[in-house]
Amino acid sequence: MTRLPAAFWFLAPALGLIAIFFALPILAALLLSFSDFDIYAIGDPTALRWIGLDNYRQLLDHPLFWTALGNTFYFVLLGGPLSVALSLGAALLVNARLTRFKTLFRTIFFLPVVSTLVAVAVVWRALYHPEAGLLNPLLGLFGVNPIDWLGDPQWAMPAIILMAAWKNFGFNMIIFIAGLQAIPDRLYEAARLDGAGDWAQFRFVTLPMLAPTFLFVALMTMIGYLQLFAEPYVMTQGGPANATLSVVMLMYQEGFRWWNMGFAAALAFVLFAIILAGTLVQLRLQRRAM
Amino acid sequence: MLRLRIHHWASPGVLFRTLPPLLLACLLPLLLLAGCDAREPKVATLDFWAMGSEGERVQALLPEFERRHPGIRVRVQQIPWSAAHEKLLTAHVGGALPDVFQLGNTWLPEFVALKALAPLDAVLPAADQADIFPGVLAANRLQGHLYGLPWYVDTRLLFYRADLLQQAGIESAPRSWDDWLAALRAVKRQSGRAPLLLPFAEWQTLIALALQRDAGLLKEDDRYGDFRAPAFREALAFFLQLFGEGLAEVAGEGQTGNIYQAFARGRIAFLVSGPWNLGEFERRMPTGLQGAWATAPLPAPDGSPWPGVSIAGGASLAVRADSRHAEAARALVAFLSAPDRQLAFYRETGDLPVRMSAWTLGGLHEAPRVAAFWQQLQQVRGVPAIPEWERIATLVMRHAERAARGLSSADEALAAIDRETDAMLEKRRWLMDRKQP
């Protein structure tokens, strides 16, 4: 027997943990997704059937899968850019030369990120209340008719997006600030000497220099937003009329509410494939742009 | 420093000197425990999970049980209702179910399919079983065995503002569907708003309307959905009419906010709800309105006797199939179902007793507002006793909501309900065919 290199023994504990708590469950879930594991199978193992790809086929016919997928994409496509734009804007403001109390603002903008989602959701539910909430009277000042934010299927998802963007933009803002501060001042000085205005400086110095930060932020936001769960879970429970049901929420319902584990596992792998595809597409796009 | 100490401990002399006292110190508690065991009778600790306020209030009854059974201690754990179903299922899979637990009636078939429950046929003599509302007892009997001992009953009926009805010229609670529509229209003319609260999250009202029409809901031994049958079709049509005429609002609870405030302000005048709201309304209605709200059994469709059928619901007590203290668990279940304890529990929680003698014992069948439940409980029916029921009920309401919002027609909704129900019952059909080749 050949002696294993010393590095193996240093890595072994970590690798062992990853194998047991990461690789093994994923493998088990993959196997589950080829079975119809449900409550009958818990009571009587012979009631388990290996059904191959049937779960994946049923998924395409599932009445709520396309709804959930559509809702999730809606959330990602509208909420993602909104959140990134918000955080970039906030980062530029906080990082601007004229801004005073930079640390204070940074802290304030970062607060939503570290506050508990459930507590935040309770407050936002109150803000969104159609009669007693604060938001509708404010909009009323601009002549907007009262909106039933969380009770109207058309408005529920925008309401969730608004709250999620507010909750998350602080994190990306910090990353953007780090990116901004890494841009050397001499570039701006040179641009000014060449007669570049504020907009030209932003367009031709700031944005190109931020490109790697942008890629990172966009990727992380997309991956995170595709796994939308907690916001609708505490705000709307997926309602009204399933307008805020996301893929992960559907997975949770199928898996832990109805104990339809095989199907839920299949759903998890489909979501994984979607996230992987989204990441690859985005990497490809950004690389071409650079 | 650390290295020095290791060296010091590892020297054989030290080890030999310290080992015997060390061992003794480890063993001493064990020896003491064994000594206690020999002197006192062994105490069985029962784990008991109960939901919500029941879990809190049942503890008042337990000291007496422990006094009567000196060998048993009961450890109660409170589980929130919203997480109860998931938690019980997960506990079963993890082998962590408590000895005794509270179980919603409609969950019973699921746990029987899981083989998680011990049969309780012998816990109560036949005479005592006959004292339980028959519809409720029947819902606990599966595959010929009693798997849950009914603990309290739950059914749905009308809560309404009698004063608002009177202002609208209606003297008494509606007894037929037509009366109900007329009363709702009259109140709406007065207030200008939808007077009925009908949340889509609760399937009980629509299903009760269907049972009133004698809908079977499922057919062929519960193998297929039967929602396109005329009975359910009529019930759904009535349900949708309530929304169509603006007598109930699709926005429902989100729009209404706090139902007690809405009820007190006259924003809503009708509510289909259960016994837990008796206590809540008494607590939350302003004193000036205490005489203004009332309860009544459900109205019946034309041609059916009043009161109309409602759902036989409630919670039962179940015993874990492989409980290590099965005898003690059965004793606890029997103790909690005795009529005087049922009455005491009602006084604590407002949960309605399952034993009819408890009602007469406390005069509940004549008490204002509670008497309506007594009347209603004579007319209750259970839902199909299959594990898939909650899922089916959820999908029924999903399509009913879509139809009420005008996103699909009633016919499309019914067809979709049947199609999805049939798909959901595929495994059940396979299991049944396998059993009888």
- The whole-number pLDDT of residue B419 equals 94
- In this predicted structure, the answer to whether residue B199 has a pLDDT above a threshold of 80 is yes
Summary mean pLDDT of chain B = 86
Q: Is A106 helix (H, G, I), strand (E, B) or coil?
A: helix
Quick one: pLDDT band at residue B1, thresholds 50, 70, 90?
very low
Chain A residues closer than 8 Å to B401 by CB: 240-241
B94 at interface of A, judged by CB pairs closer than 8 A: no
CA B110 to chain centre: 14
Nearest-CA residue of chain A relative to B321? A43
Judged by CB atoms closer than 8 Å, whether chains meet at A42 and B251 is answered as: no
Q: Among A63, A151, A259, whose Cβ lies nearest the Cβ of B251?
A: A151
Q: Are B48 and B317 spatial neighbours (Cβ–Cβ below 8 Å)?
A: no
pLDDT in tens, B105-158: 888 998 998 889 999 998 989 889 999 998 888 889 988 999 999 999 999 999
B37 at interface of A, judged by CB pairs closer than 8 A: no
User: What's the CATH number of domain B44-154+312-362, 3.40.50.10890, 2.60.40.1170, 3.50.50.60, 3.40.190.10?
Assistant: 3.40.190.10
Please give the biggest Cα pair distance in chain A. 81
CA distance B40 to A100: 74
CA distance B26 to B112: 45
On whether residue A244 sits in a domain, the answer given is yes
- The whole-number pLDDT of residue B11 equals 41
- The whole-number pLDDT of residue A220 equals 92
On whether residue A32 sits in a domain, the answer given is no
Q: Are B333 and B409 spatial neighbours (Cβ–Cβ below 8 Å)?
A: no
Q: Are A90 and A169 spatial neighbours (Cβ–Cβ below 8 Å)?
A: yes
B193 at interface of A, judged by CB pairs closer than 8 A: no
Judged by CB atoms closer than 8 Å, whether chains meet at B110 and A39 is answered as: yes
**Cα of A277 to nearest chain B Cα, Å:** 31
On whether residue A111 sits in a domain, the answer given is yes
Counted across chains A and B, CB pairs separated by less than 8 A come out at 64
- The whole-number pLDDT of residue B37 equals 46
The structure's pTM equals 0.80
* B15 closest CA partner among B26, B4, B23: B23
**Cα of A127 to nearest chain B Cα, Å:** 13
- ipTM for this model: 0.74
pLDDT in tens, B46-97: 999 999 888 988 999 999 999 999 999 999 999 988 778 888 988 998 899 9
- In this predicted structure, the answer to whether residue B29 has a pLDDT above a threshold of 60 is no
Range of the domain at A111: 49-289
The mean pLDDT of B225-249, rounded to a whole number, is 95
Number of domains in chain A: 1
Quick one: pLDDT band at residue B6, thresholds 50, 70, 90?
very low
* B161 closest CA partner among B178, B186, B143, B140: B186
Q: Among B114, B257, B391, whose Cβ lies nearest the Cβ of A131?
A: B257
Tokens standing for B369?
């507002």
Residues 6 or more apart from A270 whose CB is under 8 A from it?
Answer: A56, A59, A247
- The whole-number pLDDT of residue B27 equals 52
Q: Which is more confident, B252 or B139?
A: B139
On whether residue A109 sits in a domain, the answer given is yes
Judged by CB atoms closer than 8 Å, whether chains meet at A242 and B116 is answered as: no
Tokens standing for B282?
């008494």
- The whole-number pLDDT of residue B12 equals 42
- The whole-number pLDDT of residue B4 equals 36
On whether residue A259 sits in a domain, the answer given is yes
- SS3 per residue for chain B: CHHHHHHHHHCHHHHHHHHHHHHHHHHHHHHHHHHHHHHCCCCEEEEEEEEHHHHHHHHHCHHHHHHHCCCEEEEEEEECHHHHHHHHHHHHHCCCCCCEEEEEHHHHHHHHHCCCECCCCCCCCHHHHCCECHHHHHHHEECCEECCEEEEEECCEEEEEHHHHHHCCCCCCCCEHHHHHHHHHHHHHHHCCCCEECCCCCCHHHHHHHHHCCCCCEECCCCEECCCCHHHHHHHHHHHHHHHCCCECCCHHHHHCCHHHHHHCCCCCEEEECCHHHHHHHHHCCHHHCCCEEEECCCECCCCCCCCCEECEEEEEEEECCCCCHHHHHHHHHHHCCHHHHHHHHHHHCCEECEHHHHHHHCHHHCCCHHHHHHHHCCEECCCCCCCHHHHHHHHHHHHHHHHCCCCCHHHHHHHHHHHHHHHCHHHHHHHHHHCC
Sequence-ordered alpha helix ranges (H) in chain A: 6-18, 24-32, 39-43, 54-61, 65-74, 80-95, 102-114, 117-128, 135-140, 153-181, 185-193, 198-201, 207-226, 230-235, 247-252, 261-289
Residue B168 CB neighbours (<10 A): 19
* CATH number for A159: 1.10.3720.10
The mean pLDDT of B196-203, rounded to a whole number, is 89
The mean pLDDT of B367-380, rounded to a whole number, is 91
CATH classification code of B157-311+384-435? 3.40.190.10
Chain B residues closer than 8 Å to A152 by CB: 251
B141 at interface of A, judged by CB pairs closer than 8 A: no
Strands B196-197 and B141-142 come out as unpaired
Please give the biggest Cα pair distance in chain B. 100
pLDDT in tens, B342-356: 999 998 888 899 999
B89 at interface of A, judged by CB pairs closer than 8 A: yes
Instruction: Provide the residue ranges of all domains of chain B, joining segments of one domain with +.
Output: 2-39, 44-154+312-362, 157-311+384-435
Judged by CB atoms closer than 8 Å, whether chains meet at B113 and A148 is answered as: no
On whether residue A147 sits in a domain, the answer given is yes
Judged by CB atoms closer than 8 Å, whether chains meet at B114 and A42 is answered as: yes
Q: What is the DSSP letter of A35?
A: B
Q: How far apart are the first and last CA of chain B?
A: 76
- In this predicted structure, the answer to whether residue B99 has a pLDDT above a threshold of 50 is yes
The mean pLDDT of B204-217, rounded to a whole number, is 94
Q: Are A51 and A34 spatial neighbours (Cβ–Cβ below 8 Å)?
A: yes
CA B373 to chain centre: 16
Q: How far apart are the first and last CA of chain A?
A: 50
Nearest-CA residue of chain B relative to A62? B420
Judged by CB atoms closer than 8 Å, whether chains meet at A39 and B89 is answered as: yes
Identical fold for domains B44-154+312-362 and B157-311+384-435, yes or no, is yes
Ranges in chain A, pLDDT < 50: none
Facing residues of B75 across strands?
Answer: B47
- In this predicted structure, the answer to whether residue B7 has a pLDDT above a threshold of 60 is no
Judged by CB atoms closer than 8 Å, whether chains meet at A39 and B387 is answered as: yes
On whether residue A2 sits in a domain, the answer given is no
Judged by CB atoms closer than 8 Å, whether chains meet at A38 and B113 is answered as: no
- In this predicted structure, the answer to whether residue B2 has a pLDDT above a threshold of 60 is no
**Cα of A256 to nearest chain B Cα, Å:** 6
